[in-house]
Amino acid sequence: MIVVSACLAGLPVRYNGLSSLEEKIHKLVSEKKAITVCPELLGGLETPREPAEIVGGSGEDVLDGKAKVIDCKGTDVTDAFIRGANETLDVIRKIQATVVVLKENSPSCGSEKIYDGTFTGEKVEGHGVTAALLIRNGVRVISEMQFLKEY
């Protein structure tokens, strides 16, 4: 079974209330070959919500207490991001997912790049909070771009 970011399946769960629909991923979900998760919603955040970025490091740093996830108004949403990452890991363990496809650049789901914490659109190499937790726990995490190349 594959787990995918809900926004990639066309669900309007992104911070701005939109999706990031990838038809191939949507098809997998509709064929019941994949299930969706949104770590930010699982963590208790709502849609729409203020955009957030990791400030002071990467997802690993957030998990280690060395960085925070802050929204564009300055609200610390770190706890919600960590809670959502743990809930996502629980789902993956329960269904014994073989691969997880996460939305690139997200402070939760970025598997290769995340925004740099300045809210200027600049990206840096690094993992989002959920991606970092999953990788630490031996889960294979790929971006939607990797998925489209491999599957």
Closest by Cα among 98, 104, 105 to 139 = 98
C-alpha pair distances (Å), 143 with each of 33, 102, 130: 17, 5, 13
Distances (CA, A) of 56 to 75, 81, 107, 128, 135: 15, 15, 12, 13, 20
23 has pLDDT over 90: yes
pLDDT, mean of residues 88-114:
97
pLDDT score recorded for residue 147: 96
What is the tens place of the pLDDT at every residue in 65-100?
999 999 999 999 999 999 999 999 999 999 999 899
Neighbours of 109 (CB within 10 A): 33
Q: What percent of the chain has pLDDT over 90?
A: 98
Domain ranges for the chain, please list them: 2-150
